[in-house]
């Protein structure tokens, strides 16, 4: 099939599934994760593929080589961890250390011990039982996090505790793989552990530690200057694609560097995300990466569906589904008990336990390593792997069940104190942090009003951050950027830029997202202000109009025109402008007069008495 599109056929089939099947599933109000999983089953060798021999044209509608999508799916998980890292910082990670290294690590240990005990009761050796237990103790970050995000559960107690456990699981992958190597050495030695073998196994941790340290050091030194350079090129209209390319380079490069040092690709991407979270480019990177993350995660979900062997399930449905059910029940009980011990309320603990109870994608890595090392019995391992896949399919349903259970009681107990992943919610957003935006920020700060600021000038952003302001690099004219900055919960958005067309763009975008949002904009003149009121701004301040009136007032007074006449004429002109602004406001928004021009008269200037 070379030369006839065969090399890209599977990728085309996947894109067709993403563009046709998943939107159809969404219209039925079903989780898109389930849509991708179902597409994988339908388009795989055990779906339509089984009829391809009798109907050759079906081969063009099926994915015949899952290996082609394997690397892309691995990138999808890496992008997910990178986006999670962008929501963190070293301070937040330190604040979460009790949950990550306490609750999270204890979950891995206890679940491994309980599951291994169950396999030993089934007649497995200690080494085999431990390998299977360690694999099943892990959960699916790639499925759980998108499902929780889809249901709006990431920012609460459930989302943060779930993430802490998933992070601990990701950190434990490398030690688990080393443990498998040590267990294999024990089995080969007849139970006697050779210190030299143990030393070699532990020595494999050294490259991982060195690689992680170099990744952190290099990231702190290189990332900010690199993105500042890209931002300056973008400011010079040399292409916004440079920012996307730089973001992709960071994710893929960090993942490959971690992989080369013995860690998982996702851990490298997570570290890169945490490092970028400390910079002013965090918001722009989020927007640039989001489409790639969603599409590549879709590849991962389709890959999981492709791995579901329907023939093997049909051969032993009781064993496969029974084991999947037992796994879910056991892990739910263990995680619920541990979460309660760590201070979570009953409802959040149950919801957390339900979404983490199924197996995860790293189980297949552990099982494959166990098979290579000769520790995992092939027949049982295949059955366990099928049960793990079936359990992954149940995550969206378990998340729905957990959320419904949580809603049944408003008193969910006192949740454990957890660090927030977002700080922008409820803050005023200032768009443009030049001289005008900075002055507004200083006034807000003086009155204890929290705010964040956006600017596309890397120099202005850097200067603002040096002075302690919460300023980010980003284009507020993009809907995705405003979403990442928390526009749905902000109290007001102030646009201070001096480019009229850009001001119009930001106002239009923000108003389309929230009809009740307070929008205050800097206008070039009265005509621009009229246009802004037509676009839905709450208040527009025409800088040249107000400045002109004040200049005229001072000039007339200095020329000897009586102060009363001058103030009356200025007041009359202000009223004319105000009426023009009011008439430009859409009828449904005329609930209060415009405050664009000040109504109060300045005190009359008092000349010094003659000596």
Q: Report the C-alpha gap between 335 and 109 in whole angstroms.
A: 11
**Lowest-confidence region among 4-8, 116-120, 407-411, 559-563:** 407-411
- How large is the average pLDDT for residues 244-248? 84
Higher pLDDT, 49 or 587: 49
Quick one: tokens of 496? 């201070």
Q: Report the C-alpha gap between 157 and 498 in whole angstroms.
A: 42
Residue 451 φ then ψ, to 5°: -155, 155
CA angle 494, 498, 500 (to 5 degrees): 90
**Lowest-confidence region among 91-95, 383-387, 399-403, 405-409:** 405-409
Higher pLDDT, 425 or 57: 57
Q: CA distances (Å), 197 to each of 131, 178, 261, 554, in order?
A: 18, 11, 20, 89
Q: Report the C-alpha gap between 257 and 268 in whole angstroms.
A: 7
Q: Report the C-alpha gap between 462 and 280 in whole angstroms.
A: 7
Residue 477 φ then ψ, to 5°: -75, -10
- How large is the average pLDDT for residues 256-266? 78
Whether the CB-CB separation of 142 and 361 falls below 8 Å is answered with yes
Q: What is the dihedral of CA 146, 152, 153, 156, to 10 degrees?
A: 130
Q: Report the C-alpha gap between 491 and 516 in whole angstroms.
A: 9
Quick one: tokens of 484? 């990442």
Q: Sorting pLDDT into bands at 50, 70 and 90, what band is 240?
A: low
Q: Residue 428 is inside which H or E element, if any? A: strand 428-431
Q: Sorting pLDDT into bands at 50, 70 and 90, what band is 1?
A: very low
Chain region(s) in the chain for CATH 1.20.1530.20:
65-408
Q: Sorting pLDDT into bands at 50, 70 and 90, what band is 238?
A: low
pLDDT reading at 423 higher than 60: no
- How large is the average pLDDT for residues 186-200? 57
pLDDT reading at 437 higher than 70: yes
Q: Which of 267-276, 304-313, 445-454, 588-597 has the highest mean pLDDT?
A: 445-454
Q: What is the CATH number of domain 65-408?
A: 1.20.1530.20
**Ramachandran region, residue 472 (left: φ > 0; alpha: ψ -120 to 50; beta: rest):** beta
The candidate with the shortest Cα–Cα distance to 160, out of 351, 289, 408, is: 351
The candidate with the shortest Cα–Cα distance to 26, out of 489, 396, 441, is: 396
What would the pLDDT profile of 304-314 be if each residue is shown by its tens digit?
777 777 788 88
Tokens 């300023």 correspond to 471
Q: Residue 79 is inside which H or E element, if any? A: helix 67-86
125-155 burial code (b ≥16 CB/10 A, e <16): eebbbbbbbbbbbbbbbbbbbbbbeebebbe
- How large is the average pLDDT for residues 212-224? 84
Q: CA distances (Å), 389 to each of 143, 197, 286, 324, 576, in order?
A: 12, 34, 30, 9, 70
- How large is the average pLDDT for residues 112-125? 90
Whether the CB-CB separation of 559 and 583 falls below 8 Å is answered with no
pLDDT at 605: 46
pLDDT reading at 512 higher than 80: yes
- How large is the average pLDDT for residues 21-38? 71
- How large is the average pLDDT for residues 513-525? 88
pLDDT at 430: 93
pLDDT reading at 609 higher than 80: no
Whether the CB-CB separation of 456 and 394 falls below 8 Å is answered with no
The candidate with the shortest Cα–Cα distance to 430, out of 415, 403, 459, 450, is: 450
| Superfamily (CATH) of domain 426-589 | NAD(P)-binding Rossmann-like Domain (3.40.50.720)
The candidate with the shortest Cα–Cα distance to 390, out of 335, 493, 310, is: 310
To the nearest 10 degrees (0 to 180), the angle between helices 157-188 and 205-235 is 140
pLDDT reading at 2 higher than 50: no
pLDDT reading at 187 higher than 70: no
pLDDT at 19: 72
The stretches of 261-394 forming alpha helices (DSSP H) are 265-277, 282-306, 310-315, 317-341, 346-356, 362-372, 378-393
Chain region(s) in the chain for CATH 3.40.50.720:
426-589
Quick one: tokens of 193? 């552990």
pLDDT reading at 611 higher than 50: no
Whether the CB-CB separation of 11 and 68 falls below 8 Å is answered with yes
pLDDT reading at 56 higher than 80: no
pLDDT reading at 110 higher than 90: yes
Q: Sorting pLDDT into bands at 50, 70 and 90, what band is 595?
A: low
Name the strands in the sheet holding 428-431, side by side, starting at the edge strand that comes first in the sequence. 471-473, 451-455, 428-431, 492-495, 518-523, 539-542
pLDDT at 26: 65
- How large is the average pLDDT for residues 580-603? 59
Q: Sorting pLDDT into bands at 50, 70 and 90, what band is 112?
A: very high
Q: What is the CA radius of gyration of the chain?
A: 30
Higher pLDDT, 187 or 267: 267
pLDDT reading at 482 higher than 90: no
Whether the CB-CB separation of 103 and 261 falls below 8 Å is answered with no
- How large is the average pLDDT for residues 274-278? 82
Residue 140 φ then ψ, to 5°: -100, 100
Q: Report the C-alpha gap between 144 and 150 in whole angstroms.
A: 10
pLDDT at 302: 78
Q: Sorting pLDDT into bands at 50, 70 and 90, what band is 322?
A: very high
Whether the CB-CB separation of 15 and 30 falls below 8 Å is answered with no
- How large is the average pLDDT for residues 249-268? 81
Q: Report the C-alpha gap between 524 and 345 in whole angstroms.
A: 54
Whether the CB-CB separation of 162 and 355 falls below 8 Å is answered with yes
Higher pLDDT, 305 or 466: 466
Q: Sorting pLDDT into bands at 50, 70 and 90, what band is 590?
A: low
- How large is the average pLDDT for residues 15-43? 73
Q: Sorting pLDDT into bands at 50, 70 and 90, what band is 29?
A: low
pLDDT reading at 263 higher than 80: no
Q: What is the 3-state secondary structure (H, E, C) of 438-457?
A: HHHHHHHHHCCCCEEEEECC
Quick one: tokens of 245? 């390319």
pLDDT at 573: 82
Q: Report the C-alpha gap between 454 and 482 in whole angstroms.
A: 10
Q: Sorting pLDDT into bands at 50, 70 and 90, what band is 188?
A: low
Q: From the CB of residue 348, how many other CB atoms can be counted at a distance below 10 Å?
A: 26
pLDDT at 417: 39
pLDDT at 327: 93
pLDDT at 324: 92
Quick one: tokens of 594? 């415009």
Q: Average pLDDT of the chain? A: 78
pLDDT at 414: 40
- How large is the average pLDDT for residues 204-233? 80
pLDDT at 231: 81
**Lowest-confidence region among 39-53, 310-324, 378-392, 413-427:** 413-427
Instruction: Name 74's Cβ contacts closer than 8 Å, sequence gap at least 6.
Output: 265, 300
């Amino acid at each position: 099939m070379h030369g006839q599109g065969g090399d890209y056929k599977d990728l085309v089939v996947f894109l067709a599934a993403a563009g046709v099947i998943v939107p159809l599933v969404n219209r039925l109000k079903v989780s898109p994760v389930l849509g991708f999983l179902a597409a994988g089953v339908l388009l795989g060798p055990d779906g339509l593929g089984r009829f391809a021999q009798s109907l050759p044209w079906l081969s063009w509608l099926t994915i015949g080589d899952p290996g082609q999508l394997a690397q892309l799916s691995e990138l999808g998980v890496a992008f997910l961890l990178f986006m999670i890292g962008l929501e963190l910082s070293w301070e937040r990670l330190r604040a979460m250390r009790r949950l990550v290294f306490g609750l999270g690590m204890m979950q891995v240990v206890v679940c491994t011990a309980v599951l291994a005990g169950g396999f030993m009761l089934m007649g497995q050796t200690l080494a085999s039982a431990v390998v299977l237990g360690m694999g099943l103790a892990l959960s699916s970050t790639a499925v759980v996090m998108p499902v929780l995000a889809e249901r709006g559960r990431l920012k609460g107690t459930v989302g943060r505790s779930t993430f802490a456990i998933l992070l601990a699981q990701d950190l434990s992958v490398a030690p688990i793989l080393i443990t498998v190597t040590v267990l294999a050495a024990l089995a080969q030695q007849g139970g006697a552990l050779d210190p030299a073998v143990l030393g070699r196994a532990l020595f494999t941790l050294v490259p991982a530690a060195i690689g992680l340290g170099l990744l952190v050091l290099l990231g702190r030194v290189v990332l900010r200057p690199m993105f500042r350079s890209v931002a300056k090129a973008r400011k010079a209209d040399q292409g916004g694609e440079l920012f996307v390319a730089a973001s992709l380079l960071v994710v893929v490069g960090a993942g490959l560097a971690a992989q080369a040092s013995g860690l998982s690709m996702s851990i490298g991407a997570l570290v890169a995300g945490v490092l970028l979270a400390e910079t002013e480019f965090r918001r722009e990177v989020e927007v640039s990466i989001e489409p790639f993350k969603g599409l590549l995660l879709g590849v991962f979900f389709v890959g999981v569906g492709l791995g579901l062997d329907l023939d093997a399930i049909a051969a032993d449905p009781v064993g496969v589904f029974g084991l999947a059910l037992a796994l879910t029940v056991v892990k739910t009980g263990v995680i619920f008990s541990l979460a309660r011990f760590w201070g979570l309320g009953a409802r959040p603990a149950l919801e957390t336990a339900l979404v983490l109870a199924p197996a995860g994608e790293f189980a297949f890595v552990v099982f494959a390593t166990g098979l290579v090392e000769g520790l995992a019995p092939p027949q049982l391992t295949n059955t366990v792997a099928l049960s793990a896949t079936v359990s992954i399919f149940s995550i969206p349903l378990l998340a729905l069940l957990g959320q419904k259970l949580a809603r049944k009681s408003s008193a969910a107990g006192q949740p454990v104190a957890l660090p927030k992943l977002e700080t922008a919610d409820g803050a005023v957003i200032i768009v443009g942090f030049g001289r005008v935006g900075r002055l507004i920020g200083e006034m807000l700060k003086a009155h204890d009003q929290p705010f964040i600021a956006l600017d596309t000038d890397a120099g202005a952003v850097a200067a603002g951050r040096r002075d302690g302001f919460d300023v980010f690099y980003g284009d507020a004219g993009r809907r995705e950027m405003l979403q990442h900055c928390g526009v749905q919960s902000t109290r007001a958005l102030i646009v201070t830029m001096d480019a009229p067309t850009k001001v119009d763009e930001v106002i239009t975008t923000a108003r389309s997202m929230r009809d009740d949002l307070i929008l205050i904009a800097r206008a070039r003149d009265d005509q621009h202000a009229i246009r802004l009121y037509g676009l839905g701004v709450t208040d527009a301040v025409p800088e040249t109009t107000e400045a002109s009136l004040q200049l005229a007032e001072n000039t007339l007074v200095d020329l000897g025109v009586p102060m009363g006449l001058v103030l009356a004429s200025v007041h009359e002109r202000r009223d004319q402008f105000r009426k023009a602004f009011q008439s430009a406001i859409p009828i449904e928004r005329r609930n209060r007069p415009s405050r664009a021009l000040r109504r109060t008269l300045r005190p009359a200037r008092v000349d010094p008495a003659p000596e």
